[in-house]
Structure 1
Amino acid sequence: MAWRFAASKFKNTTPKVPKKEETIFDVPVGNLSCTNDGIHASADFLAFHIEGEGGKLGVLPITAKGRRTRNDIGIIAAHGEQVADFGFLTFADELLATCSRDEPVKIWKLSRDHSPKLATEIDVGGGNVIAECLRAHSTADNILAVGSHGSTYITDISTGKTAVELSGVTDKVQSMDWSEDGKLLAVSGDKGRQIVVYDPRASMEPIQTLEGHGGMGREARVLFAGNRLISTGFTTKRIQEVRAYDTGKWGAPVHTQEFVSTTGVLIPHYDADTRLVFLSGKGTNKLFMLEMQDRQPYLSHVFELTLPEQTLGATIGAKRRVHVMDGEVDTYYQLTKSSIVPTPCIVPRRSYRDFHSDLFPETRGAEPGCTAGEWLNGTNAVPQKVSMAPSQSSSSPPPPEPVPTPKVAQTPAPVPVPTPAAAPRPMSNNNSSSNNVPSVQEQHSVPKKEEVRELDYRPYEKENGVHTPNAETNSTQGNSSPISTISPEPVTIVKPASTPATDSVSTPSVVGPAFGKKVPEQPPVNFRKPIGASNRVPLSQRVRPKSCVVGQITSKFRHVDGQQGTKSGAVFSNLRNVNTRLPPESNGVCCSNKFAAVPLAGLGVIGIYDVNEPGKLPDGVMDGIFNKTLVTDLHWNPFDDEQLAVGTDCGQINLWRLTTNDGPRNEMEPEKIIKIGGEKITSLRWHPLASDLLAVALSNSTIELWDVANAKLYSRFVNHTGGILGIAWSADGRRIASVGKDATLFVHEPASREQRVYERKTVVESTRAARVLFACDDRIVIVVGMTKSSQRQVQMYDAQTVDLRHIYTQVIDSATQPLVPHYDYDSNVLFLSGKGDRFVNMFEVIYDSPYLLPLAPFMSPVGSQGIAFHQKLKCNVMAVEFQVCWRLSDKNLEKITFRVPRIKKDVFQDDLFPDSLVTWEPVTTGTKWMLGEQAAPVFRSLKPDGVFSSIPRAITASVRHSEMPSSSSTTNSAAQTPSTSVTHSTTEKHHHHQHHQHQEPTSVPTPSSRNMQSCGVESTQQPDRKQVSIQYSEEEGSEYFTDELDDVDDEIDDAAAAARAAENIRIPACLLQTAAQKSEEEDEYDVMETYL
């Protein structure tokens, strides 16, 4: 069973969305209605659909970037009608095959210097065949398979004749693919419900006929993936489905997996070298990366990427074009209505200086294994494999860079390399003289090291009351570069001495400032102080932890793991008669710390279940409380676990008192009934700080505030001109936001004397459903809605501006049901899930670009009817749980716990659990709040008594030396501080996680200041963590070792070895700090691999 714990090298492959200047934009693609993949790539060219009459295709060099209008691209007027399918020949990067329903198959020859030319035409089947799709052979040259209605044809391009005609397909052929060894051909027909497999040289009849998908979709795909056959289509419920068949024993699929309910098919692609499967949802913005395995699960999840735009087509690039010295194993090309986005898929490694042969095995070369005639006569020779190492010569030289022509305008390189030699990736070095530049073929790509990025939760400085983000921040682009909150010190570029040209490339050394100066010693700062009712602070001054990673900004919660059902230890089974027709404004299921309430079918029936006693529900009639009218919304009192408020369609609020000692609940009566009026109640929201204060949204566009204890109406305000879709309180309870069917967002301040109201119009396209909530310490208003094309999106608005300035919009996916959001104020994690969804998408919300940091999504085998979250008090923090919820399906109510994988669970994880916002105890009463009492939120530490905290613990570093030599007074004084120690051990290596915070340059810390704790030393100067150095001195001089954070462990070993020969040694506190943090990140990395 050791294979279960042997993580794949490609398990952590991560696609990196490029910047806009690295994409091809303003391409005239438009809205396509084709049934093919939309775009194809060879090692030299990109071919794709463009808008316009007739069957036209656009062509660009594979290296093209930037703006490309219609005048800048090559155009192939392929056919009179729309192109049915097209694709490059496997062993001819410049030959493109196209087919249409009215004309013969055509082969086009592409050129960088001239317009595309027609090379030949093939009359398949005597010229009376309507070609639907085509596929070039995987091992033989000039063999092309063409699919039609009921038949498939094997043609020889070199002779222009049909060699074999295959029968046995029902209806028209929708997709085809050759096996990797070129022996078998798989065909998908009958709208994806039939899959036939041929051995074309052995028989004209299928050797296997497989049962496909149950649904009748417009499109279907079939793809060979090693010894598996993958098919994508739809279920009977119009849900995207993937099936995997074993080619060794045909029959039932060995793996079946459902994805999203939509009308667009999943476009599959497979990389035989990495065994990665790419699934692109057509018409959606999702990319699913899976890995093919030999054991269950045969398709293992690797990554789910949310793309900025909808996908109209997708393909993966030729393996010979990847940048191996950047760790890039594949390039995924996405075709949108106006752009082509090349997305590199990178395997993270500490360093990319050397070629990683384990990531890049020998790949298929550019020369075919045999000719068309040889293959038809029975030869099974496969193409020779070539090495991808930069120093090895390939079977064919890489193509030259495109030459600017009147048809395709190319952007000149900043500094052209004065050599005629060609390379797939030319380099320009502004710091090297021309006479010392080696030939381009000998150069290796040197990865650009990225600087350290930090998530800063401080309140931003404001000018005239308006939020002013960093100058580099682009508030409208979802893929803008992450903004660093550190101003790195200037670095010096040291040019190497002039030497004769050699085969190796001389890389300039980047040297940072040495840690030779004395760092002032100060006592450590304990910033985690329990905050009680007597010490309340505004949300804007709340001290939060800070994430610090190398390169791209990522979240500490990015590897979140969801434990479901029996794994989490709680599930209510045998659930029946769940109400699936609740209004879209209602969340449906809700829970307190004691009970879960589930709306059931019937006239206002709600089932009540004790969350501490899960199990199988008894057969018979479902017990529950009866409201005697249709239920529109329901919520538990956050300060009373036994009080449930239920809104009805007759304008009545029923308050129920429920205990564990209740008898048959169908005989109970409400504790109190509040009659609002004749209008239907659409939403209920309890005040987050004041007890017995309830906000009620009515169908007549009115929001009312009620004291439910005294059945008294406090306030009423009408701003919307249409129905209200959603309301939400701010965390401090001073504002309430609402979004309505008039597509307007309002933020009210009901307790202020002026009754201030802020307005923002046209915040949603589709007024069918929308939700609103506050985030980032009430500085951001988030609106979750839909577009008219059923795209589900998240919009962010600045709650600190009068006009509620728009900040950012991100499309999540496409579906028919709206998203229901939940926001965790402590972790800033936003949970998104809709009715019928199998996924729970999660993002960490930050108050700066990129605004939404994606986390690992949670996936369930069945769709949900609703999700209800517990308060933070129910989380087991020692198991690193930061959210607990109940997920309702048609037959079960199961508990889900979201936690972060950590190894050291014997300490309290301060970096994940700041002082929690107390939502389970009231701060004031509704009466006092309405009289103007300024109640502030209460924060409380979740650390259990008697548990050590991970923050105050000292950083220890292992130095392999029998006895620590004497050092300077500065080093000795630092070693004597209580929070910094150096141990002498030859066997142990201690890794302690440190929580870093940045402190304003002031002598008196404030609650809003960012403290920095680095090895027990509080410093007002931010160390340059991009350059980490070790200094040691010898009798005759000193030497400096510099490296970057990725090689910290290697530098520590070098320093320890140098200590054995040196008289004095000093390891800076910053290095110890970064080494400990790096070790902790590696622990998370390994645990993440095990969990996935």
Structure 2
Amino acid sequence: MAWRYQASKFKNTAPKLPKKEDVIFDLPIGTLSCTDNGIQASADFLAFHIEGDGGKLGVVPVGTKGRKLRKDIGIVHAHGEMINDFSFMPFADELLVTCSRDDKVKVWRLSSSAEPLLAGELDLGTGRLIEALKPHSTASNIVAFVSTETAFITDVNRQTVFLELSGINDKGQSLDWSEDGKLLAISSDKGKEISIYDPRSGSTPIVTFASHQGLGREGRVLFAGDRLLSSGFTSKRIQEVRLWDAGKWSEPPIHTQEFVSTTGVLIPHYDPDTKLVFLSGKGTNKLFLLEQQDRQPYLSWVTELTLPEQTLGACVGSKRRVTVMDGEVDTYYQLTRSSIIPVPCIVPRRTYRDFHADLFPDTCGSEAACTGAEWFNGANGLPPKISLAPAGKASPPPQEPTPTPSSLTTVGLAAIRTPQTMGRAGVDPVKILPDNDIPAQNGAPMQQQATKRIQEVEEPTHDRSVNLPTKDRIKELDYGMEVKENDSVPELTKKEPVHIYERFTKADDKENKKEENSDPIVTDPSTSSSLLRTLSAASAVTPSSAISPDSTQAVASPTPSSTSSNRIRMRANRQRPKSCVVGQITSKYRHVETLAGIKANNGVFSNLRNVNTRLPPESNGACASRHFVAVPLSGPAGVIGIYDVDEPGRLPDGVMDGIFNKAQVTDLQWNPFDDEQLAVGTDSGVINLWRLTRADGPRNEMQPEKQIKISGEKIVILRWHPLASDLLAVALSDFTLQLWNVREQTLLHTIPSHRGGILAMAWSANGRRLATLGKDLKLSVHNLNNPLGQPLYERAGVLESPRAARVFFACDDRMIVVVQLYDAATTDLRSIYQQTIDNATQPLIPHYDYDTNIIFLAGKGDRTINMFELTYDSPYLLPLSNFTAPTGSQAITYHSKKTCNVMAVEFQVAWRLTEKTLERLIFRVPRVKKDLFQSDLFPDALVTWRAVMTPEEWLAQSDKEPEFESLKPEGVQHLASHTANNTASSSTQANGTNGTNGSPAQATTIPQDSLPSPQPRATTIKPPTFPAEPALKNTNGELEPDKKEIEQSWSSKITKDTKLEQDDMDGCEEAEWTEL
């Protein structure tokens, strides 16, 4: 009975999650739909499925670490169809065998310095649907394949079939050789049946027995020493593992264990040296570690590890690659959507200075016991074993190469390639420069300066002429550039690089200047030298930038001559909120507070029903004006519910009221200049213009005010012009753009846009440019006033996928932002910046606030609204506090800035649509002095609620620019002027008299509008004192006593004592002084 107290050496084996730098991440794996293990390992390589057509495998050396993109890994183009199974040959670490459903079996020779080579093919006959394979455990070059009702024993070296096995019920899914190589076990019929073969004694099974009774899609079988382990499901869809004694197949299993209820099968692996069993479920994040023993329980529990991501595949590495001096007995590899996570399994010991031979018995080496022909003739030898002691240890895994200065230069050059931005109003399209034509500073070549520029990225870009120590400099990130009165531009020197915005200003002063004669536009490389920081394959935000001419076309087109420099001065001098940093760049809005539903002024519509959740991906869903929110409802009649934003509450039961469009709704938009006009696009090629008021009764019998019959094509996207009234841009399913005057119901222009469907469309803020994204993965920028119909700018390959995407202009139309489903494997290092937001199946729908430069990002079905402040310079996206709702959102629609209560520091108001509710969202910044107008948060707002021009003026290429309007209520003091007044009051009270007549100074509040323009002074400015607290109003409207008056009243009661301590001290006698 002594065995009861004999502890196992491996009972405390602990899987250890690796650090981030030890993980292979950003791999192009994606979502797999295979029935194999997904990943296989030899002593030299890791092979795994990658996304694509299904017939490709990725290969990396064992020991690879860090970020690996598609271009950094080896690709095995194995088959035209999906690969069903693959495996390394156990006695040839560089040979990889692959099989597909209806193709030849192929053997590939891998190399770390060359492309994978096809080493051999084996044709098993047409119609053979190969499902799984398994190399022999003792003999070289023997591989078993299983198909539907048939299995094959082959010699892949001689490319011959030794034997064809029969007697398999339904489709075989898993097979394994016994440790001595005599028996072959095959699991078939979705894991419900197991067949045991002795291939050298006959082609029929020696025994067939039932294994699992579940309804799962997969099953696994594995020899574990002298036992057979099977993985499947119970009749209740619970993961189940069973264990049989070899030779006692007719008896029930000696061990049965259930795990969790899920649809993913447990992938089993067995280490014969430690007798450890690894079980990891597909689609779960659990790793179960058990130990096989000779007594009950035959599978003893060791530990359970929660992995950081879901498992798509798993394997156990070669014993010849473990780090024995760290106590690592096995390495478990987890395959996820974008990474391979190596998990070392370590046995804790007090010290690892010495080799623990009891943990590392001699293991199977790389030499086979016999050849395939010898085994088939009756050889039963076992492979020779090798010692894992450091003296006889194999060579360590290949290390990652250390980046050399030349490689750093290459990365830096790719990261700081000059980004080009879109031309604003009155500027010809930006010329796209080839990579080798990028001008360098001071005439030096770009390649020699790349590393130097990376080192100088932290230095201030512009000299502010402030003589402060470097550590005391506080950088302020502004959106407007200072423009001198003479429009002079500094020379291109190392200290003061020319900003792209200043180059625009200089170019605009020269009228009728042709593009081919203009200087190339160059941005400061230090502002764009931050490397890409892509975390995973997911939805991403990508500002547009220049690329090489082979994928970009710039088509010149005539543009109206105008006073562009005046417009630039107006925008440059406009006050915008600054993102200040002390140590790092942050946003003033970073602590944004989001109020929802009841907290947002009781803004909840409940009992909402029949919300249309199947709108086209090009549509944003619901939309809002200052009076109403329009919500598409499900049904063939194209019903849209209209809800008054001032009357939230519970909707009545019964049939949902709304307007009927008599066709499926594809997109809808409120007229920004008319809060009662709604444009609805349908799949029948008709645009319905509805006139909706608060005095309307039941709307189910209303008729459209106007109907515009476009054509037989489906309406895809509708976008109102941001400045001109009654102008509507329409994207059609025939890949064309049309511009309509809805007041006159006349077609103004028709422009061909893309070679595929149009995914997104957006106007620039000045209304002169229209950006579109198409399913041809191209970005196009149009001038709809151009009669030629040619795009001003095109860039191919902007999108990673032809699925839904969004585009918009930002930063005073100097930047284009693309939001898409992003594949991190094909990152273009020449882009300005790319930011991964989240992992999701639906694209993020952005909303851009022109005044604050804040982007709101929310996907359909997501609970989180991500917010960033967009800047024109690095780091481009400043994160804000996100908002997470308790349920998923169907759509988020935003009001204009006019609806915000600026005195409550609200900078955006929106509505969140769910399947059952419609709730108001209020985004505000926490501030203390809410009785003052926060001018640092609310610059003059872009007027989007009032038209600037008529359609006729716009067609005549009017020079009218966007209007800006202050949001400050009348009678409210600016925060800046209040601070200045308090400072001046403190200074005069400290002096006690007026500078002219000597009388006591009186505190006077001067309205902001009446303040004169500041004049330069020659006098020295005294350091300002801290401002006093603002005077508050009580309930009777009377002013409370000022804090300064209270302080003065106390000063009058306390006697002033100007006597110094040293006045009472005795000094030295006169005689004690000595004259020198």
TM-score normalised to structure 1 length: 0.48
**Greater radius of gyration (CA):** 2
Structure number with the higher helix fraction is: 2
Q: Counting strand residues as a fraction of each chain, which structure ranks higher?
A: 1
